[in-house]
Amino acid sequence: MLQGKTILLGVTGGIAAFKAASLCSKLVQRGASVHVIMTESAARFITPLTLQTLSRNPVHTDTFDEREPSVVTHIDLADRADLIIIAPATANIIAKMAHGLADDMLSTTLLASTAQVIVAPAMNVHMYEHPAVEHNMDLLGERGVRFIDPGTGQLACGYVAKGRLAEPEEIVEAAENWFASQRRLAGKRVLITAGGTIERLDPVRFLTNDSSGKMGFALAEAARDMGAEVTVVAGRVTAKPPAGIELVHAESAESMLKAVEQRYGASDIVIKSAAVADYRPVARHERKMKKSGERLTLELERTTDILQRLGERKEHQFLVGFAAETDDLDTYALDKLRRKNCDLLVANDIGMTGAGFYGDTNAVRIFDRAGLVKELPLMTKRQMGEAIVALIADRMEAGYGAGRS
């Protein structure tokens, strides 16, 4: 998986920097072209010459040490990278990454790159568990940075606790797994609905719900990163859509239905994560409604059930539905899956702390016709999106869907 890949290896200042030599060697042995960037502190623990010898490439330590007049070195490295690994990663570099600081060669290159970043922290256990460090890692996780948890053992400070740098073999495996995941959905067309729909009463008022679109966009990002061609049909959203996808705006349940039906036949995977209104006003006023009396009665009518329509028309598509419940989650989820002919149904208890519409985290239970498939504990919606899309890829590779459940 690493053959011919360009990997930037960032080494920061900690006693675990000595493991960077073994990591660099193993990456090169797997066929990667490794370019090492060291911080000034890292060079106090291990010499640049060691990593230059192992990588067979110059080691970079100074932003202003420009060796090739035709390029700006940190921009060139940032553009060429297929993957960036920071190992060991100190609390200092994690803070710089979280807050966009660029005061040395490594942090400047990181800020200029759009490549995937894998971070392997190594530090004293109290530093690792400090609220500021935890906040910075959470922030980076929301942006897509992947972390390799440190191990538990004897630390240089004398503690026996969590904080040891993961072994080089683990870091190499994480890199290989990331590259492997990039092509799992290559050639597949994925259609996702996101956000909440709007059903207008008049030009200034409407009925809607609390959906933010964050979960749908996280799913889209995960599918895109696995090589799929992704289209998102989005209603009302408060989250920023990811790059590299086709975005189609659909305000009402009716417009979302039309947009989805137009694309359904050409789709391989359909994930209906949008919160679509079940009812809409019978009458829509062309002008702003004026106050008249102490009460207002609205007459509502049912909207078309998009998921049910898709289940009835399903041919080759792998269909995934979502259900937000407040009670009897398992019962309602299984009933919805079977009635609407889904291959998987993702259900969450919106009354659970941290699992609501507006938050950045979620916890779900995933079902197929046989029952519970997987339970995912509270995690960021980006992590949740990756886990759900990975499960879909697993099921498709095993032949599920298209008539087999």
For 184-204, the pLDDT digits (tens) are: 899 999 999 999 999 999 999
pLDDT in tens, 232-246: 999 999 888 988 899
Determine the Cα angle at 324 with ends 274 and 147, to 5°: 80
Q: CATH 3.40.50.10300: which residues of the chain?
A: 189-397
Residue 381 or 5, more confident: 5
> Which residues, listed in sequence order, are joined to residue 349 by a DSSP beta bridge?
325
Using alpha carbons, select from 58, 68, 22 the residue that is nearest to residue 38: 58
Domain 189-397 belongs in CATH node 3.40.50.1370: no
- From 71, 75, 157, 204, active-site residue: 157
Residue 314: both structure tokens together: 């399903």
Q: What is the pLDDT of residue 353?
A: 81
What is the structure's pLDDT at 404?
45
**Which residue ranges are tagged as binding site for CTP?**
278, 288, 322, 336, 340
* Residue 403, pLDDT score: 45
402 confidence band (pLDDT: 50, 70, 90): low
Q: Which pLDDT belongs to residue 117?
A: 96
Average pLDDT of the residues of the chain: 92
Q: Are strands 300-302 and 279-281 parallel, antiparallel or unpaired?
A: antiparallel
Higher pLDDT: 362 or 37? It is 37
**pLDDT tens digits, 328-372:** 889 999 999 999 999 999 998 887 887 767 778 889 999 999 999
Instruction: Flag whether pLDDT at 400 surpasses 50.
Output: yes
Q: Is 157 a catalytic residue?
A: yes
Encoded tokens for 387: 């886990």
Q: Residue 322, Cα to own-chain centre: how many angstroms?
A: 18
How sure is the predictor about 85, in pLDDT bands with cuts at 50, 70 and 90?
very high
Residue-wise pLDDT tens digits, 252-266: 999 999 999 999 999
Query: Most confidently modeled of 37-51, 141-155, 375-389?
Result: 37-51
> Nearest-CA neighbor of 78 among 40, 106, 51, 49?
106
Angle at 121 between CA 176 and CA 105, to 5 degrees: 85
pLDDT for 158 equals: 74
Please state the residue numbers annotated as binding site: 278, 288, 322, 336, 340
Beta partners for residue 6, in sequence order? 33
pLDDT tier for residue 401 given thresholds of 50, 70 and 90: low
- Strand, helix or coil for residue 29: helix
CATH 3.40.50.1950 intervals, the chain = 6-181
Q: What is the DSSP letter of 272?
A: E
Q: Are 26 and 7 in contact (CB under 8 A)?
A: no
30, two tokens = 């797997």
Backbone angles phi, psi at 302, to 5 degrees: -70, 145
From CA 76, how far away is CA 26, in angstroms rounded?
Answer: 24
Topology adopted by domain 6-181: Rossmann fold (3.40.50)
pLDDT tens digits, 304-331: 999 999 999 999 999 999 998 888 889 9
pTM score of the predicted model: 0.77
Residues of the chain above pLDDT 70, percent: 98
Element (H, E) at 86: strand 83-89
